A and B are shown apart, each in its own frame.
Chain A
Amino acid sequence: MEMIRYRKKTANDMIFDIGVAVLAVLSFLIVAYPLYFICIASISDSTLVATGKVLLFPKGISMFGYKEILGDSRIWTGYRNTIVYTLLGTFVNLLFTLPAAYALSRPEFRARRFLMFMFVITMFFSGGLIPTYLLIKGLHMTNTMWVFIFPFCVNVFNLIITRTFFETSLPKELYEAASIDGCSHFKFFSSVALPLSRAVVSVIALYYLVAHWNDFFTALVYIRDNELQPLQIILRDILLSNQVFEGGAGGGGGGASGGYAQQFADQIKYGVILVSTLPILIVYPFIQKYFEKGVMIGSVKG
């Protein structure tokens, strides 16, 4: 691209550029520093962290926190449960969402307007917590892993994104040509539409994945059994139980980190934050390039 310079760079522009640079660096630091701080605090001596000595580099490096975390059976159970719920849940999400999005993207499908309307309504109306709770209870899904998988397995926002992508990125002639060759919708969907839509599939898979991984509410409301608790509930016990003691409302609620020496408690907390967020941070860079596209598609007709 060729820059057009009809006007000389004035002092005004210089000030502007400097202002932009300062603000950009500032916003970078505001976001990045807390994240960085957690990393260094998780391997530093907790007393040094607590007295504000650890600011730029880790000090008094010890892996005690991580050792404790990896030796904690609840973390492992939580991790295992969350991985199962996330993978199975995302699989079911995609299984329900992608074919539906394809069907709703076909212009010749006569029911599409009505069905789309039916889906969109649910974005604005909902039964609310209590009727939903009673329904799930009535279906005997409470205290089972299925409550993580099936309820609300179609996210309408994701459905719209995918449908819009199919509509705009698959040329109309493509299906016509394929159908003359005797290609059915099933076949066209699985061997033409899906392979051409890797961008949107990655984006909504990431959305679903993150939603499952971070889901705390479902377990809070529907799960009582300790063996079924996902990582986020365990995290709450470890990260927030101290707060319960401080607030004077202890009453044994949580009480999870009671076993750890207090001076290591903070190191463990920082470590847990990192360990629990790691999987998402690993996936993130691979899918990041699709974000803008995904959001943009969604905003067109969302």
Chain B
Amino acid sequence: MTTQTKLTVPNREATITAKKPSIFNTFRRDYQLWIMVFPAIVAIIIFNYIPMYGIQLAFRDYDYTKGLTGGAWHGLYYFKMFIDNYLFKDIMWNTIKISLATIIIGFPAPILLALLINQIRWKRAKKTLQTTVYMPHFISIVVMVGMLNVMLSPNTGIVGNLMNHLGYGDVNLLASTNSFIPVYVLSDIWQHCGWNSIIYLAALSSVDPQLYDSSKIDGANRWQTIRHIDLPSIVPTMIILFILSMGNVLGTGFEKIFLMQNTLNIPVSEVIATYVYKIGILSNQISYSSAIGLFNTLINFIFLFATNAIAKRVSNISLW
């Protein structure tokens, strides 16, 4: 730091005269902080808050000439249109099935992995395993789906070959309605399980070592240590992450499903997110797709609040 004699010391008088100076009083002192935070504020307002204002499209007829909010008010018309749509039941059911499967199988997987990694005593082996299981997280979704395609392909893929050898015949795992969800969920676990375990490992590493020592004195075996020390210590993290994942119960990843879709699996793979994209961006039914999007957001919110409330009741741990 170079010293500059000219610069002012923080405004001392302000702090002395008023115990809690208002934002305006401190502006002169903090103007540099305001400058630093200003670009981020502008970005958030433009790209996050203006679209929020645009949600009202869902209740209006979109009119190109009148802009985002100029169209005539149409109430819940588009919501009714969606609910009455013959695809409604399928799309809702697909969305719920896929996300519940992801949560039920995908949620415990990183916990088990973290408990496993935590049990490895040999430092180098532990490090190697960690480095390896984190890696797939960085693979792009396009590449991930591309990998699935080449490996699961019925004639030429390695898994397709394996199935052939095992006598299952030429099953096309990519194009069958039965295998879509298992392939989606398992590949998701393969890709993100390691990364998601980091947070549990961090929680496990902050366990007081004295607990382990005293459990040893009490004659606990390794299973009992896991059950009575490791698990309880990550329960708060588990609950918070569970609430967050429930808040996204209808927010199935758009990209992966979209890329995995083909004409054969579409009956089980069309979800709200892909439907909104197709209706809104590809066929330009702006108001209708906004309504579907909003419907999705609302249901997510209900789940978030409900899970949060239940967690608060049961365990006293909650998001807010």
Q: Is the beta-carbon distance between A288 and B131 smaller than 8 angstroms?
A: yes
The count of chain A contact residues (Cβ–Cβ below 8 Å) is: 113
B143 to A276, Cβ gap below 8 A?
yes
| Interface: B190 (CB within 8 A) | yes
Q: How many residues of B contact A (CB 8 A)?
A: 107
**Known contacts A31-B135, A178-B1, A276-B140; A150/B7 CB under 8 A:** no
How far is it, in angstroms, between the C-alpha of A178 and the C-alpha of B301 when the chains are bound?
46
Chain B CB within 8 A of A91 CB: no
Q: Which of B89-97, B100-108, B274-282 contacts A (4 or more CB under 8 A)?
A: B274-282
How far, in angstroms, from A192 to B64 measured CA to CA in the complex? 51
Docked pose: A106 CA to B34 CA in angstroms? 11
Among the listed stretches B79-87, B176-184, B257-265, which one makes contact with chain A, having 4 or more residues with CB under 8 Å of it?
B257-265
Q: Is the CB of B30 within 8 A of A108?
A: yes
Bound complex: CA of A12 vs CA of B262, how far in Å? 50
With a CB–CB cut-off of 8 A, which chain B residues contact A31? 132-133, 135-136, 190, 194
Q: Contacts A128-B55, A130-B280, A184-B32 given; indicate if A295 touches B143 (C-beta within 8 A).
A: no
Are B138 and A100 in contact, with the CB atoms below 8 A?
no
Q: A111 touching B202 by the CB < 8 A rule? A: no
Q: A284 within 8 Å of B by Cβ?
A: yes
Instruction: Decide if B146 touches A269 in the complex (CB within 8 Å).
Output: yes
What sequence of 0s and 1s flags, for each residue 121-158 of chain B, a beta carbon within 8 Å of any chain A beta carbon?
00001001101111110111111011101110001111
Are the CB atoms of B134 and A27 closer together than 8 Å?
Answer: no
Q: Is B165 among interface residues, defined by CB-CB distance under 8 A?
A: yes
> Given A134-B54, A184-B7, A273-B147 in contact, is the A35-B135 Cβ separation under 8 Å?
yes
Q: Quick one: CB contact mask for B262-305 with A, threshold 8 Å, 1 for yes?
A: 11100000000000110011000010011001101100010010
Asked if A284 contacts B135 (CB within 8 A), the reply is yes
Mask: chain B, 239-263; 1 = CB below 8 Å from A; 0 = not? 0000000010000001100010011
- CB<8 Å pairs between A and B, sample of 5: A30-B190, A115-B37, A119-B44, A179-B9, A186-B36
Give A residues with C-beta under 8 Å from B: 4-7, 10, 12-13, 16, 20, 23-24, 27-28, 30-32, 34-35, 37-38, 41, 46, 49-52, 55, 95-97, 99-100, 102-104, 106, 108-111, 115, 118-119, 122, 124-135, 138, 150-154, 156, 159, 178-189, 191-192, 210, 213-214, 216-217, 221, 232, 235-236, 239-240, 242-244, 246-249, 266, 269-270, 272-273, 276-277, 280-281, 284-285, 288, 291-292, 295-296, 299
